[in-house]
């Protein structure tokens, strides 16, 4: 079942085309990651889907039904963790979570149970009486998450939830998102941190300038560019003759030598590193440290757009 179905969504801000015939389909149980640089249209797309923004053209269906501003029955099935912190400074941690839970759950006993579970889930048991201004950046992000998911929604939107948090809190947030998914929730996750998207996304969409660049699983996206491996080797001295011989190797796509470092991009194949080292040894070159890395989503973005994935 398609939980989210967006077709030909167009959103303009005067002369700026924020979403250019944007399409997105998300199946039940996915962690669907929306990857792109800041300003590419990720948050705009989510706000249009949630009917928090009007749009110029297109159709949006959630849970198989048309989404409109008045569909509160659909909205009750959705959780939102916004990029900007959305909590009340005058309320404590527990009071904040209880307030947001009360928007969906009227029964006090059920609400108390859900609030306790949310506090335990995000690890705020020792901070329930604290007000937000007393919390660190990572803890207030956890509070933001608890407020958005306390009612146990079926579909959860996480919009850049790890911005400006410490590594420990980031890992806790990512583990929490995977736990939500294991419990049955469908996740939509936006980020410009490709390592996070690679870690948690079951399917990934790359976008820029309001348009879809590519979509697929992590492996499918990397297969698009045909790069199997990037190899970096420290070599003290290498002349142009040796460089040309490396370029002529059938599995080598690109060679760059700068500041005593050789960078080689290889096509898909077996034992690229072994064959490359064998060639270098035949050229009687002094080889230092060797690094080998598979392609990244940044490589995909660079290949498809001509620029690196920027902040």
Mean pLDDT of 172-176: 89
Closest to 186 in 3D by CA, of 274, 52, 64, 14: 64
Closest to 146 in 3D by CA, of 164, 125, 168, 167: 125
Give the model's confidence band at 214: pLDDT under 50 very low, under 70 low, under 90 confident, else very high. Answer: very high
Fold of 226-294: Alpha-Beta Plaits (3.30.70)
pLDDT for residue 227: 64
Contacts of 196 (CB under 8 A, 6+ apart): 162, 170, 174, 189
pLDDT for residue 166: 84
Domain ranges of the chain: 2-222, 226-294
Point out the least confidently predicted range of 16-25, 111-120, 222-231.
222-231
Mean pLDDT of 7-11: 97
pLDDT for residue 169: 84
More confident residue, 310 or 270: 270
- With a cut of 80, say whether residue 235 has pLDDT above it: yes
Mean pLDDT of 105-128: 95
- Which element (helix H / strand E) includes 180? helix 167-182
Pick from 22-26, 121-125, 159-163 the range whose average pLDDT is largest.
Answer: 22-26
- With a cut of 70, say whether residue 311 has pLDDT above it: no
- With a cut of 70, say whether residue 93 has pLDDT above it: yes
18 and 41 in contact (C-beta within 8 Å)? yes
Q: Decide if 2-222 and 226-294 have a common fold.
A: no
- With a cut of 90, say whether residue 164 has pLDDT above it: no
Task: Please give the Cα distance from 213 to 304 (Å, whole number).
Answer: 7
Mean pLDDT of 89-100: 98
Task: Please give the Cα distance from 42 to 189 (Å, whole number).
Answer: 10
Fold of 2-222: Rossmann fold (3.40.50)
């Amino acid at each position: 079942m398609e939980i989210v179905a967006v077709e030909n969504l167009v959103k303009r801000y005067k002369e700026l085309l924020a979403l250019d015939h944007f399409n997105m389909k998300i199946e039940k149980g996915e962690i669907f990651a929306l990857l792109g640089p800041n300003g590419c249209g990720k948050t705009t797309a989510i706000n249009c889907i949630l009917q928090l923004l009007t749009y110029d053209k297109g159709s949006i269906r959630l849970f198989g039904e048309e989404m409109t501003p008045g569909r509160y029955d659909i909205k009750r099935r959705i959780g939102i963790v916004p990029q900007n912190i959305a909590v009340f400074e005058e309320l404590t941690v527990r009071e904040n979570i209880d307030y947001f839970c009360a928007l969906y759950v009227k029964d006090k006993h059920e609400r108390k149970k859900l609030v306790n579970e949310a506090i335990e889930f995000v690890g705020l048991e020792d901070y329930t009486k604290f007000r937000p201004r007393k919390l660190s950046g990572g803890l207030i992000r956890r509070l933001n998450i608890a407020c958005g998911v306390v009612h146990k929604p079926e579909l959860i939107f996480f919009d850049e939830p790890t911005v400006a948090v410490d590594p420990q809190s980031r890992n806790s947030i990512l583990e929490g998102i995977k736990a939500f998914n294991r419990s049955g929730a469908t996740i939509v996750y936006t980020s410009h941190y490709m390592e996070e998207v690679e870690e948690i996304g079951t399917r990934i969409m790359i976008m820029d300038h309001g348009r879809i660049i590519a979509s697929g699983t992590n492996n499918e996206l990397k297969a698009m560019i045909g790069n199997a491996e990037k190899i970096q080797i420290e070599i003290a001295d290498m002349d142009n003759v040796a460089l040309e011989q490396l370029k002529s190797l059938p599995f080598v796509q690109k060679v760059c030598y700068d500041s005593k470092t050789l960078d080689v991009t290889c096509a898909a194949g077996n034992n690229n590193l072994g064959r490359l080292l064998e060639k270098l040894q035949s050229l009687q070159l002094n080889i230092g440290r060797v690094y080998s890395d598979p392609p990244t989503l940044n490589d995909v973005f660079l290949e498809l757009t001509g620029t690196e994935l920027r902040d």
